[in-house]
Structure 1
């Protein structure tokens, strides 16, 4: 299993495509392993002429775990944020951005196209803002600015995301994962039941670590409003968002595109908070086309 020492911790990664092609770094979201990037999308991007690298964020999958490090409770963090205080958290989204740059360093990659989904999009924003010299382009997928005045997630979507499974028995974990995927997924592109259960089972057997998402969530809440940071981003940016996303409403993507100078926005009806097979070709074409335009 390939691992690198990045930002002082062990990060697990995978590569696809010709090593001589331009690099594309995929950053996944909250509590999600690198396998949530569909193989079909990864291969499609590689087929478009990129060296595609996906990795497990810290505290998830096969990367370093911060065992025993406690994060403040969600209620406490939310209240502190509302009165302008920054809660002390185990690590920040800026730290996680440095992890991604550490992966590029370890692989001796000077510059890469950055693609971030959900929390990975927030991390990608930090990469684009803090390490512009390492970024060929930035593509954000169903993410947001952190503006507290934007529409919130639907109650059922947020509840599904933060609720822990009732036990760690394999069948219970798979049922829970399928429930979550259905709740936040695309109404216009429902997943095949057999494929969804198979992917969820593979994910559970690869790694189950419920403590990691708690610390991920604390990093998101503590990060606050990123609009001021986004207005300074100079990296060519594409924002992709589903018009039917129940977890991160489309307004988050629209506002990101408004904040980043010159950013392009594409929204897709029927698309929720997942990466359905039916959209793989469209997304691969959009991401690859943006990356090529950014470097021409």
Structure 2
């Protein structure tokens, strides 16, 4: 049964920070994981596309991290947009009882025993599709969400009509590695309060954004405050470590990517300090028939000057995949 997620306490309203609680719903999956999601309709008056698009976010990112301009463009194109909080993000299940990885384990890529995997997170997405009675979707994932989406497409090929993988990688340790400057930032002490979290978010966003598409500082302050309040504040650090452990526990997925049959668009910037561009190229090389779209000057952030451009790429890719399927069905 779909219900509204509980609203967390705080002074968000006084500061004009909309947590979007009126949009949040959640699904209780057979695995015991609760996934919080939003189901956004296409724009009124626009002919709706028959297949929804599901957006899967990256490391520690709750679903409202998807930029408004990106979502608006997809809605204007007639797409029904479904977003979700991955496990250990936002208002989905936080697995506090799981063993926490130490910094040494994270740096040495040695997850703790019993760590969940990217495959487990992919099954969360499939569970949500089952909950919504969706046989097939367009799937879009950024960063870790790209890894999750790739895994859904390789393990449940008939559920994915098209795949878009944005600044993600294959899990091969020889490609897509973060820059040393990024690792040093990730190793810093976790924020202890809301203001430290905002400062850390602004610093990391400025670092990741690339040279051509700079972030909107005022917008990013709102994003950081929303993320802190929806993500249970101090619980974010341990949750992020568990997600990093999931990536490490999943290893190299290159061979499985070769089983993807959905038309695939791989998008990567050439100034990405979190997932080096070699990760995007390796993803393209691993997925048969995929298309690689390099965006000059883009880093590891969907800024206000690139969000609609990226949405147009996703929209065109989704509609082209759907038309190809329709033409193939007519020939049978």
The answer to whether residue 28 in structure 2 is matched with residue 5 in structure 1 is yes
Counterpart position of 1:171: 195
Match of 2:95 among 66, 86, 101: 66
The answer to whether residue 240 in structure 2 is matched with residue 216 in structure 1 is no
Counterpart position of 2:224: 200
Unaligned stretches of 5+ residues in structure 2: 6-24, 43-47, 324-332
Is residue 99–residue 112 contact of structure 2 (8 Å, CA) maintained in 1? no
Q: 1:117 to 1:49 in 2, by over 3 A?
A: same
Counterpart position of 2:77: 48
Map of 1:100-249 to 2, 5 A cutoff? 100-150=125-175, 152-167=177-192, 169-207=193-231, 208=233, 209-249=236-276
1:162 deviation in Å?
4.2
Is residue 89–residue 219 contact of structure 1 (8 Å, CA) maintained in 2? no
Match of 2:311 among 284, 290, 293: 284
Unaligned stretches of 5+ residues in structure 1: none
Q: Whole-Å Cα distance in 2 between the matches of residues 198 and 77 of structure 1?
A: 29
Q: Whole-Å Cα distance in 1 between the matches of residues 188 and 138 of structure 2?
A: 34
Instruction: Using the TM superposition, name which of 126-135 and 183-192 deviates more.
Output: 183-192
Q: Whole-Å Cα distance in 1 between the matches of residues 176 and 125 of structure 2?
A: 29
Q: 1:68 to 1:191 in 2, by over 3 A?
A: same
Counterpart position of 2:286: 259
SS in 2 for 1:105: helix
Question: Alpha-carbon deviations, 1:242-296, whole Å to 9, x = none?
Answer: 1101110111101111111000000111100011111122111100111111111
TM (norm. structure 1) is 0.92
Q: Whole-Å Cα distance in 1 between the matches of residues 73 and 201 of structure 2?
A: 25
Q: Whole-Å Cα distance in 1 between the matches of residues 187 and 89 of structure 2?
A: 15
Structure 1 or 2, whichever has the larger Rg, is: 2
1:87 deviation in Å?
6.1
Q: Whole-Å Cα distance in 1 between the matches of residues 49 and 289 of structure 2?
A: 29
Q: Whole-Å Cα distance in 2 between the matches of residues 80 and 60 of structure 1?
A: 21
Q: 1:151 to 1:253 in 2, by over 3 A?
A: closer
Q: Whole-Å Cα distance in 2 between the matches of residues 250 and 196 of structure 1?
A: 24
Q: Whole-Å Cα distance in 2 between the matches of residues 220 and 74 of structure 1?
A: 15
1:196 deviation in Å?
1.7
The answer to whether residue 316 in structure 2 is matched with residue 273 in structure 1 is no
Is residue 61–residue 227 contact of structure 2 (8 Å, CA) maintained in 1? no
